[in-house]
Chains A and B, each alone.
Chain A
Amino acid sequence: MVSPTEYLPKSYRPRVSTYWWLARWAYLKFILREASCVFVAWTVILTLIGIRALTRGPADYAEFEKWLRTPILLTLNIISFFFVVFHAVTWFDLAPKAMAVRVRGKRLPSVAIAAPNYVVWIAISVAVAWILLRG
């Protein structure tokens, strides 16, 4: 009796390594981009803690500022800053892929979608910096 699977070709099924994301720089960049959301979340939480300290009065806010100056927070926030910038840059660069805007039948070039995002980002950053540094 011939087994029904006897003549099926035997094949080798490769397994994806747990460390597949270290195999190529492009994959590592993707993982870092995804991981950046943790630092974005941390930045939001830090802002909320800051606002809460602000509403509780000057003493609490001074305490919050003192906490910000501790080496751990300083290190964490420097790392967070780079990840948040990386998050924003990768987000803006991917935006043209997701948005296919057509004007008179022709698809707008990537730069026409990405550039306005950068312009608005820089404008808001300058406005925030102006408000903060003016006093």
Chain B
Amino acid sequence: MPNRITLQITRYHPGHDEKPRLETYEVPLRKEWVVLDALNYIKDYLDGSLSFRWSCRMGVCGSCGMTVNGVPKLTCATFVSDYAPGPMRIEPLKHFPVLRDLVVDTSDFLVKLAKSKPWIIRSVKKSLEEEYLQTPEQLEAYKQFSMCINCMLCYAACPVYGLDPLFSGPAAIALAQRYNMDSRDEGAGERLDILSHHDGIWACTFVGECTKVCPKNVDPASAIQQYKLTASLEWVKSFVLPRGGQ
């Protein structure tokens, strides 16, 4: 293994640069280093002006998502040695406006996430003394979707979101489905209009890349396809049953 590796990193200084450019840095190649370690090395020793987001360093916070050699990755979980001898290319997450260097504007995702109402909705709330009990089977039904860390790698991998920014996107739909499938939740009806809108599940063409890049195995592609079935059944019910099956 060579002892150094070249990193080509996107730099963008708003107000100065017309568009992002690539800058090259050479860093030590260490077996235990992830991409985030290499970026921190650059910031500490080579160029303190390099901007990027990170926090937990252990695949929990979802802050350090970037494009590594064209593929969306959590940089805290991507080993530099896997890309030896290099060069490696580190770019900001695709499909989001770039604020500076590797930092993207996440506002659009946050608005969409809130619209899908990712919280437990109850028609009548129990008193604080009462519990909402759940069996292990009921937990199992939605647990996979609850693992989402909002890292937005799925948005960066989704060509539909890139071409149509109005699309709700994989994570927001998967999280809506996480609450729809929760036995304690009663808000599926409230989420139906948002999800079954043409910018919701029906915009998805099932490319499936969201699932492949997800670092937590959430499988948003599956959540969307399953919800297409649910929404279709609701649509049929609205015709067949009295009062639309409400």
* A residues apposed to B, CB below 8 Å: 9-14, 16, 20-21, 23-24, 26-27, 30, 34, 94, 97-100, 102, 104-107
Q: Is the CB of A30 within 8 A of B226?
A: no
Residues of A within 8 A of B206 (CB): 94, 97
Q: Which residue of B lies closest to A23 (CB)?
A: B70
Residues of B within 8 A of A21 (CB): 159
Docked pose: A20 CA to B207 CA in angstroms? 13
Q: Which residue of A lies closest to B162 (CB)?
A: A16
Q: Is the CB of B222 within 8 A of A98?
A: yes
| Given A11-B99, A94-B206: A20 touches B19 (CB 8 Å cut-off) | no
Residues of B within 8 A of A13 (CB): 97-98
| Given A21-B159, A98-B229: A27 touches B207 (CB 8 Å cut-off) | yes
Which residue, A10, A21, A94, A104, has most C-beta atoms of chain B within 10 A? Answer: A10
Q: Of the candidates A11, A104, A106, which one forms a contact with B97 in the assembled complex, judged by CB atoms under 8 Å apart?
A: A11
Q: Which residue of B lies closest to A98 (CB)?
A: B225
Docked pose: A97 CA to B99 CA in angstroms? 36
Residues of A within 8 A of B71 (CB): 24
Q: Of the candidates A12, A23, A34, which one forms a contact with B14 in the assembled complex, judged by CB atoms under 8 Å apart?
A: A12
Interface: B190 (CB within 8 A): no
Docked pose: A20 CA to B94 CA in angstroms? 12
Q: Is the CB of A16 within 8 A of B95?
A: yes
Residues of B within 8 A of A107 (CB): 140
| Given A10-B14, A11-B99, A20-B162: A106 touches B208 (CB 8 Å cut-off) | no
Q: Is the CB of B99 within 8 A of A9?
A: yes
Docked pose: A97 CA to B15 CA in angstroms? 45
Q: Which residue of B lies closest to A26 (CB)?
A: B209
Q: How far is the CB of A134 from chain B (nearest CB, A)?
A: 39
Q: Which residue of A lies closest to B98 (CB)?
A: A12
Q: Is the CB of B221 within 8 A of A97?
A: yes
Q: Which 4 A/B pairs are nearest by Cβ-Cβ distance? A: A105-B137, A98-B225, A11-B97, A10-B14
Residues of A within 8 A of B97 (CB): 11-14
Q: Is the CB of A27 within 8 A of B205?
A: no
Docked pose: A14 CA to B98 CA in angstroms? 8
Q: How far is the CB of B141 from chain A (nearest CB, A)?
A: 7
Q: How far is the CB of A105 from chain B (nearest CB, A)?
A: 3
Interface: B228 (CB within 8 A): yes
Interface: B212 (CB within 8 A): yes
Residues of A within 8 A of B141 (CB): 102, 105
Interface: B167 (CB within 8 A): no
Q: Which residue of B lies closest to A100 (CB)?
A: B226
Q: Which residue of A lies closest to B205 (CB)?
A: A34
